[in-house]
Amino acid sequence: MSKELTSRAEDYSKWYNDIVVKADLADHSAVRGCMVIKPYGYGIWENMQKTLDKMFKETGHQNAYFPLFIPKSLFEAEEKNAEGFAKECAVVTHYRLKTNPNDKSKLIVDPEAKLEEELIVRPTSEAIIWNTYKGWIQSYRDLPILVNQWANVVRWEMRTRLFLRTAEFLWQEGHTAHATKEEAISETKQMLEVYADFVENWMAVPVVKGVKSANERFAGADDTYCIEAMMQDGKALQAGTSHFLGQNFAKAFDVKYVTKDNKQEFVWATSWGVSTRLIGALIMSHSDDNGLVLPPKLAPIQVVIVPIYKGDDGLAKVSETANDIKKKLQAKGISVKYDDRDSQRPGWKFAEYELKGVPVRIAIGERDLANGTVEIARRDTLTKETVNIEGIDSLIENLLNDIQLNLFNKAKARNQELTTTVNSYEEFKKVLDEKTGFVYAHWDGTPETEEKIKEETKATIRCIPLNNVQEAGVCIYSGKPSTQRVLFARAY
RNA sequence: CGGGGUGUAGCGUAGCCCGGUAUCGCGCCACGUUUGGGACGUGGAGGCCGUCAGUUCGAAUCUGGCCACCCCGACCA
């Protein structure tokens, strides 16, 4: 069969790639490093967007849209931010093509059409947004500004992987402006909680919430909060970040407001984002050697109904019951597909929807019609049972909740299994090589030590967990005193 | 960008060493029989062999450049 997947044991990376392509989520495009997100994959993204957008609005945010292009002079205003992103920027230098005089069938860049100032294709939008905010903010009465945008950004990555790292990706970026430091920090933390809530309760992926070390901090931020997820192979994946930007952008773009007692103050900022990378996290958290496994809350199709019949009359009879069940489920807000195509046989459909990760499959045959039953199969456990049609809507509703919970619990158990506390550098290296996963270890807090450990082991500090236990210890690398353990892992 | 690998029909491949216009399976189209875990039969369509150049009477095959993808590094959400 051409649709057979590479197994995880055989080649984990290939398995991941196979799933993306064979489950019809996305494909490589004609453009280096850029992917085509296909309808089924985009359906997952739409569900993510819908949920996150609602959460953002419930926490007081509004959507807006800013330009794709950022004039170079604006881009370079915040020095650290500019420096951090400079080496992966796409740059627009001309605004016109013309026919090649030597070959009429070809176009060349018109040298006459050089831009006065280069335009940077946004790798992130702080610069253009803070330049805009300058005009929006005069008084404390204009604050806070709580804005989000859904957009695409471009980061010219050396090496790309479908969903996990593409040169162009879709994301949302929230950019807020506040009168006080406390309020901005509280916003930063609030959005981290929103992300954690979404990733754990919708994606069914457990996360560790924490703060990045200085080395791993967003360019231009005073603090970067993050959620770190663990993939099946024990590697970490940064699933979302929320930055406290201090007054860095306000100072770079001269954004001040007048306080109640008529003083000029710089504005405090945050930014936060998650991207289509989350789809990669979803795949690598739950899927198996049979294909994708989707959490019911984000599955484009939650239930598929497959008819089993002989002849047109048989199909008509089965369809009546199938459509009836479909209506009942839809009334409960469940998304249902009734696949009555005659061009594929039932066995083919079973395999296909398994590969695509549809959480629940209902099979109805003429045998069932006689008994008043259907066969229900769940994707997460690959188990089947025959149940009465009576009350099927509630049963499926509960089953979807069960699957959602089961996926989370399985991932949670794996996380715990693959989380180790170590006390020596030897042990640290051994765990990383032999067991993989998250490793908690004492660290002296210096960037130098972090850098050395990274060089020698490829493991980075994923975060300093929030509400971390404070305990005296010694750094596994330098032997210097340490007050807490931090989370290390090899990461995507 | 450095190291390694791969590129032949929609997909997976044989052929390449030893140059003579491409093999097989799946998929696709038509018709018929089928339909409770990826059906079967018969007939059919589809490939300037990644791309550009060179060697040659002749290149999938030999030589070189380029491009894309995969793996390992550096970078990163």
CATH number where A203 lies: 3.30.930.10
Task: Mark which of A286, A311, A326 sits at the end of a domain.
Answer: A286
- Gap from A352 CA to B3 C1', in Å? 39
Q: Domain check: are A135 and A43 in the same one?
A: yes
A117 in any annotated domain: no
Quote the CA–CA distance of A180 and A227 in Å, as a whole number.
Answer: 25
A320 belongs to a structural domain: yes
Calpha distance A362→A374 (Å, rounded):
7
How far apart (Å, rounded) are the C-alpha atoms in residues A213 and A378?
A: 42
Instruction: Tell whether A337 and A440 lie within a shared domain.
Output: no
CB of A159 lies under 7 Å from some atom of strand B: yes
> Rounded to an integer, what distance in angstroms lies between the CA atom of residue A430 and that of residue A143?
51
Rounded distance in angstroms from the CA atom of residue A428 to the C1' atom of nucleotide B62: 52
Say yes or no: A39 and A139 in one domain: yes
Instruction: Considering all nucleic acid strands, name the nucleotide whose C1' atom is nearest to the C-alpha of residue A460.
Output: B76
Residue A85 main-chain phi, psi, to 5 deg? -100, -15
pLDDT per residue of chain A (492 residues) written in tens, 0 to 9:
335 788 888 778 888 888 888 899 988 887 778 888 999 999 999 999 999 999 999 999 999 999 999 999 999 999 999 998 988 898 899 999 888 887 777 778 888 999 999 999 999 999 999 999 999 999 999 999 999 999 999 998 888 888 998 889 999 999 999 999 999 999 999 999 999 999 999 999 999 999 999 989 999 999 999 999 999 989 999 999 999 999 999 999 999 999 999 999 999 999 999 999 999 999 999 999 899 999 999 999 999 999 999 988 999 999 999 999 999 999 999 999 999 999 899 999 999 999 999 999 999 999 999 999 999 999 999 999 999 999 999 999 999 999 999 999 999 999 999 999 999 999 999 999 888 899 999 999 999 899 889 888 889 999 999 999 999 999 999 999 999 999 999 988
A277 touches strand B (CB under 7 A): yes
Residues A35 and A179 grouped into a single domain: yes
Is residue A270 domain-resident? yes
Mark whether A182 and A61 lie in a shared domain: yes
Residue A342 placed within a domain: yes
A412 in any annotated domain: no
Long-range contacts formed by A407-413: CB under 8 A, 24+ apart:
A407/A204, A407/A285, A407/A286, A407/A293, A407/A295, A407/A380, A408/A200, A408/A201, A408/A204, A408/A205, A408/A206, A408/A295, A410/A286, A410/A380, A411/A204, A411/A205, A411/A206, A411/A230, A411/A285, A411/A286, A412/A206
Q: Would A364 be classed as within a structural domain?
A: yes
Q: What is the pLDDT of residue A72?
A: 95
Residue A1: its pLDDT value, please? 34
What's the pLDDT at A3? 58
Q: Are residues A325 and A245 part of one domain?
A: no
Indicate whether A372 and A428 sit together in one domain: no
Q: How many domains does chain A have?
A: 3
pLDDT at A32: 79
Candidates A48, A65, A70; CA nearest to A154 is A70
Q: Which nucleotide is nearest, taking the CA of residue A11 and each C1'?
A: B71
Residue A316 belongs to domain with CATH number: 3.40.50.800
The C1' atom of B44 and the CA atom of A65 lie apart, in whole Å, by: 54
Q: Dmax over Cα atoms in chain A, in whole Å?
A: 83
- Distance, Å, A105 CA → B48 C1': 21
Domain boundaries, position A483: 421-489
Which residue is closest, via its CA, to the C1' of B73?
A458
Which residues 207-236 on A are within 7 A of strand B at the CB atom?
Answer: 216, 218, 226
CA of A430 to C1' of B61 (A): 49
Q: Note the CA–C1' distance, A449 to B1, in angstroms.
A: 27
Do both A158 and A244 map to the same domain?
A: yes
Distance A329 CA to B49 C1' (A): 52
- Domain boundary among the residues A242, A257, A286 is at A286
pLDDT at A2: 36
Considering the domain architecture, whether residues A266 and A332 belong to the same structural domain is answered as: no
Q: Which of residues 281-340 of A touch strand B (CB under 7 A)?
A: 290, 308-311
The domain boundary, picked from A286, A313, A338, lies at A286
Q: Quick check: is A115 in a domain?
A: no
Assigned token pair, A42: 């985009």
* Strand B nucleotides within a 7 Å radius of protein CB atoms: 1-2, 10-12, 25-28, 34-39, 67-77
- Same-domain pairing of A130 and A227: yes
Separation between Cα atoms, residue A249 and residue A255, nearest integer Å: 8
CB A157 under 7 Å to nucleic chain B: yes
Same domain, A158 and A47: yes
Is the same domain home to A141 and A189? yes
* CB-strand contact A348/B, under 7 Å: yes
Q: A142-170, pLDDT tens digit by residue? A: 999 999 999 999 998 888 888 998 889 99
Domain assignment present for A111: no
Task: Determine the distance between A42 (CA) and B22 (C1') in angstroms.
Answer: 39
